[in-house]
């Protein structure tokens, strides 16, 4: 969440309010300066009722006092981060741009008017330019370690930190992790105010939270809200390796809040504010924070090693849903189903197969694909993890030795939402060399290509599109269009079909419900 040029933001913000505010102040001053006796003597004037008795609103007054205490405790540990960065190419730079570096792309659903277009960087410039950005950070240790977002400091050639008491420090970059969008910077100091870690695994929707940061150039702002939802999936469509599990809150988060603190009622750090989703470019009640479970692990690793070497299995995973659970002989919709295994990947070498359901990691139950992806991403390359796998009604224990993320071209560790619905209503064709080249289908993927989807049909409702490839039907591999047609015909009347679909570079399972007609 970046701020554009602070000067331009302030200029745009104050022009009209200054005029309206001046008129109101002038009229208000005239009334206040009248003698009190003259006001009381005005015909028909009756004095206002007195305030509510303290006892009748004691709960609200106690809440106010608690909020004031909480804000006073946390604010000194939240800092203003200003950076100077050099931009070498003439283009619109935003949080959605990665300046040529993978892992910096922001959620595609935000659109061109997204606040990410202005949250941190400035307006487009021609040629090499020096730009100034503004974000937030959180002091996590008394000796000056500060956690913030990677996109706040990415490309910075100079970093300054301003404390709530207006003291300014030079900061140095300790390490950054583009995958989780987190970074650690450090200032020289002793006995600095800091925020203790909370436990994001103990959060629940409805809990009260406070968000701290420097929105729109207004330093050291605090807003209050609740946890709206937990475990929100990864919105970064350009890099599906990124872990999700975001905390959603309605506490107001705006441009400049990136890297700021999300705290619970105890003043514990439960998340780092990172992005919002909005059609207008302003806060629309949906802010998102990276949970403490990811932040603390990443921060401690960066402080210790200066970088993070994420491990990966090399598989594509999706949620087990009520729709597809029966096809994997699962009694309940928990776990992560493997929808693709990359050749020569750690998962492939360990014997994982498409259709396996991973139900536990190192003895800990896996609730969904997002949780598994987060847990694996926090492991180091070389670590061996032990997976509990459900396969065809049997339980297997599969050890997997992780490799460095990015170490094998084409390998994937992808978590996908599994809530798509599908039905019949599509035409299929064989995959010819020309088709394979046109849709950039890997040589190891076989099946039948979707040629047409009838508008308004069940397949259309399922968001199947021309160019998608049907890889299997009811877990039986498909090698041609006629093979797929026979497989669909073989599904008993009124029963669903489980379809493995290759689309946009990855596989996902979809349950197709037959039409009622």
- What would the pLDDT profile of 262-286 be if each residue is shown by its tens digit? 999 999 999 999 888 877 777 778 8
How many domains, the chain?
Answer: 3
Q: Which residue in 264, 224, 220, 266 sits closest to 76, CA to CA?
A: 220
Same domain for 429 and 466: yes
Both structure tokens of 387: 């997976």
Domain boundary among 305, 337, 355: 305
Domain boundary among 272, 305, 338: 305
Same domain for 315 and 301: no
In terms of average pLDDT, the best of 104-108, 124-128, 436-440 is 436-440
Q: Which residue in 148, 186, 206 sits closest to 303, CA to CA?
A: 186
Range of the domain at 353: 311-404
Instruction: Indicate the pLDDT class of residue 14, thresholds 50, 70 and 90.
Output: very low
Q: Mean of the pLDDT values across residues 326-347?
A: 87
Asked if residue 297 is part of any domain, the answer here is yes
Both structure tokens of 163: 């404390």
* pLDDT at position 3 over 50: no
pLDDT at residue 156, rounded to an integer: 84
Same domain for 301 and 230: yes
Instruction: Mark whether 319 is an active-site residue.
Output: no
pLDDT at residue 378, rounded to an integer: 81
| Angle formed at CA 30 by CA 29 and CA 32, multiple of 5 degrees | 65
Instruction: Mark whether 154 is an active-site residue.
Output: no
Instruction: Indicate the pLDDT class of residue 140, thresholds 50, 70 and 90.
Output: very high
Same domain for 321 and 294: no
Helix, strand, or coil (residue 511): strand
Residue 151 annotated as binding?
A: yes
Q: Mean of the pLDDT values across residues 329-347?
A: 87
Same domain for 259 and 323: no
Q: Name the percent of the chain lying above pLDDT 70.
A: 75
pLDDT at residue 409, rounded to an integer: 36
Q: Which DSSP string do the residues of 285-346 spell out, in sequence order?
A: S-EEEEEHHHHHHHHHHHHHHSS--BEE--EEEEE--TTTGGGGT-SSS-SEEEEEE-TTSH
C-alpha–C-alpha distance, residues 247 and 227, integer Å: 7
Q: Mean of the pLDDT values across residues 425-448?
A: 84
Strand pairing report for 311-312 and 403-404: antiparallel
Instruction: Indicate the pLDDT class of residue 76, thresholds 50, 70 and 90.
Output: very high
Residue 257 annotated as binding?
A: yes
C-alpha–C-alpha distance, residues 178 and 194, integer Å: 24
pLDDT at residue 278, rounded to an integer: 76
From the list 2, 154, 177, 181, the catalytic residue is 181
Cα 459 to chain centroid distance, Å, stands at 29
Asked if residue 171 is part of any domain, the answer here is no
pLDDT at residue 54, rounded to an integer: 87
* pLDDT at position 233 over 50: yes
Same domain for 435 and 507: yes
Which long-range contacts (C-beta less than 8 Å, at least 24 apart) are formed by 484-489? 484/428, 484/447, 484/448, 485/428, 488/424
C-alpha–C-alpha distance, residues 298 and 148, integer Å: 11
If one compares 36 and 460, the residue with the highest pLDDT of the two is 460
Asked if residue 436 is part of any domain, the answer here is yes
Same domain for 255 and 285: yes
Same domain for 400 and 321: yes
* pLDDT at position 122 over 60: no
Asked if residue 85 is part of any domain, the answer here is no
Whether 415 and 370 have beta carbons less than 8 Å apart is answered as yes
Asked if residue 80 is part of any domain, the answer here is no
If one compares 466 and 426, the residue with the highest pLDDT of the two is 466
* pLDDT at position 240 over 70: no
Average pLDDT, the chain: 76
Same domain for 301 and 224: yes
Q: Which residue in 189, 417, 176 sits closest to 303, CA to CA?
A: 176
Instruction: Mark whether 434 is an active-site residue.
Output: no
Asked if residue 183 is part of any domain, the answer here is no
Domain boundary among 404, 438, 465: 404
* pLDDT at position 195 over 90: yes
Asked if residue 473 is part of any domain, the answer here is yes
Q: Mean of the pLDDT values across residues 159-174?
A: 92
From the list 136, 258, 342, 508, the catalytic residue is 258
pLDDT at residue 29, rounded to an integer: 37
Same domain for 494 and 455: yes
* pLDDT at position 119 over 60: no
Residue 256 annotated as binding?
A: yes
**In the chain, what is the straight-line distance between the N-terminal and C-terminal CA atoms, in Å?**
49
pLDDT at residue 241, rounded to an integer: 60
Instruction: Indicate the pLDDT class of residue 104, thresholds 50, 70 and 90.
Output: very low
Tokens 């998340």, located at residue: 271
From the list 151, 241, 412, 446, the catalytic residue is 151
CATH number at residue 504: 2.30.42.10
Is 230 buried (19+), middle (13-18) or exposed (0-12) by CB count in 10 A?
A: middle
Q: Name the percent of the chain lying above pLDDT 90.
A: 30
Residue 133 annotated as binding?
A: no
* pLDDT at position 100 over 60: no
Asked if residue 136 is part of any domain, the answer here is no
User: Backbone phi, then psi, for 493, in 5-degree steps?
Assistant: -55, 130
Same domain for 335 and 296: no
* pLDDT at position 459 over 80: no
CATH number at residue 297: 2.40.10.10
Same domain for 435 and 381: no
Q: Mean of the pLDDT values across residues 92-105?
A: 35
Instruction: Name the CA dihedral angle for 191, 192, 195, 197, rounded to a multiple of 10 degrees.
Output: -50
If one compares 239 and 283, the residue with the highest pLDDT of the two is 283
Instruction: Indicate the pLDDT class of residue 235, thresholds 50, 70 and 90.
Output: low
In terms of average pLDDT, the best of 89-98, 127-136, 235-244 is 127-136
Whether 113 and 279 have beta carbons less than 8 Å apart is answered as yes
pLDDT in tens, 370-414: 888 888 888 888 889 999 999 988 999 999 999 877 654 333 344
Q: Residue 3 has what DSSP assignment?
A: B
pLDDT at residue 80, rounded to an integer: 92
Whether 33 and 25 have beta carbons less than 8 Å apart is answered as no
């Amino acid at each position: 969440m970046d701020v554009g040029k602070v000067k331009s933001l302030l200029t745009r913000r104050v022009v009209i309010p200054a005029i309206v505010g001046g008129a109101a102040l002038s009229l208000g001053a005239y009334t206040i300066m009248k003698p009190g006796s003259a006001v009381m003597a005005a015909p028909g004037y009756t004095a206002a009722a007195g305030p509510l008795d303290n006892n009748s609103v004691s709960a609200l007054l106690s809440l106010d006092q608690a909020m004031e205490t909480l804000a006073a405790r946390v604010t000194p540990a939240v800092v203003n981060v200003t950076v100077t960065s050099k931009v070498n190419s003439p283009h619109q730079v935003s949080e959605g741009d990665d300046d040529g570096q993978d892992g910096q792309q922001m959620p595609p659903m935000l659109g061109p008017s997204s606040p990410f277009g202005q949250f941190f960087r400035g307006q487009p410039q021609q040629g090499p330019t020096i730009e100034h950005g503004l974000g937030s950070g959180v002091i996590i240790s008394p000796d000056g370690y500060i956690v913030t977002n990677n996109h706040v400091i990415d490309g910075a050639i100079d970093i300054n930190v301003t404390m709530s008491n207006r003291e300014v420090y030079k900061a140095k970059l300790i390490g950054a992790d583009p995958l989780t969008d987190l970074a650690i910077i450090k200032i020289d100091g002793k006995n600095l105010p800091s925020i203790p870690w909370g436990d994001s695994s103990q959060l629940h929707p409805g809990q009260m939270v406070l968000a701290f940061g420097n929105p729109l150039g207004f330093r050291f702002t605090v807003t209050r809200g609740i946890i709206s939802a937990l475990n929100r999936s990864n919105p970064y469509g350009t890099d599906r390796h990124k872990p999700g599990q975001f905390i959603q809150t309605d506490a107001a988060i705006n441009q400049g809040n990136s890297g700021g603190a999300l705290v619970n009622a105890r003043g514990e750090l439960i998340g780092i504010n990172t992005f919002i989703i909005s059609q207008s470019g302003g806060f629309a009640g949906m802010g998102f924070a990276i949970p403490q479970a990811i932040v603390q692990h990443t921060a401690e690793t960066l402080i210790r090693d200066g970088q993070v070497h994420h491990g990966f299995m090399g598989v594509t995973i999706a949620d087990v849903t009520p729709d597809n659970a029966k096809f994997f002989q699962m009694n309940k919709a928990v776990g992560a189903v493997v929808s693709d295994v990359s050749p020569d990947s750690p998962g492939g070498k360990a014997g994982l197969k498409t259709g396996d359901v991973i139900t536990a990691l190192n003895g800990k139950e896996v609730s969904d694909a997002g949780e598994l992806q987060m847990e694996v991403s926090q492991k180091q390359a070389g670590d061996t993890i032990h997976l509990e796998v459900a396969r065809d009604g049997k339980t297997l224990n599969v050890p997997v030795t992780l490799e460095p993320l990015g170490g094998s071209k084409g390998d994937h560790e992808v978590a996908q939402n599994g809530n798509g619905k599908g039905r019949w209503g599509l035409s299929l064709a064989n995959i010819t060399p020309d088709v394979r080249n046109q849709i950039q289908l890997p040589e190891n993927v076989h099946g039948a290509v979707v040629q047409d989807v009838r508008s308004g049909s069940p397949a259309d409702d399922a968001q199947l599109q021309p160019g998608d490839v049907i890889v299997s039907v009811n877990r039986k591999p498909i090698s041609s269009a006629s093979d797929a047609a026979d497989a669909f015909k073989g599904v008993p009347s009124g029963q669903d079909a489980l379809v493995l679909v290759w689309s946009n570079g990855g596989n996902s399972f979809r349950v197709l419900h037959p039409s009622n007609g």
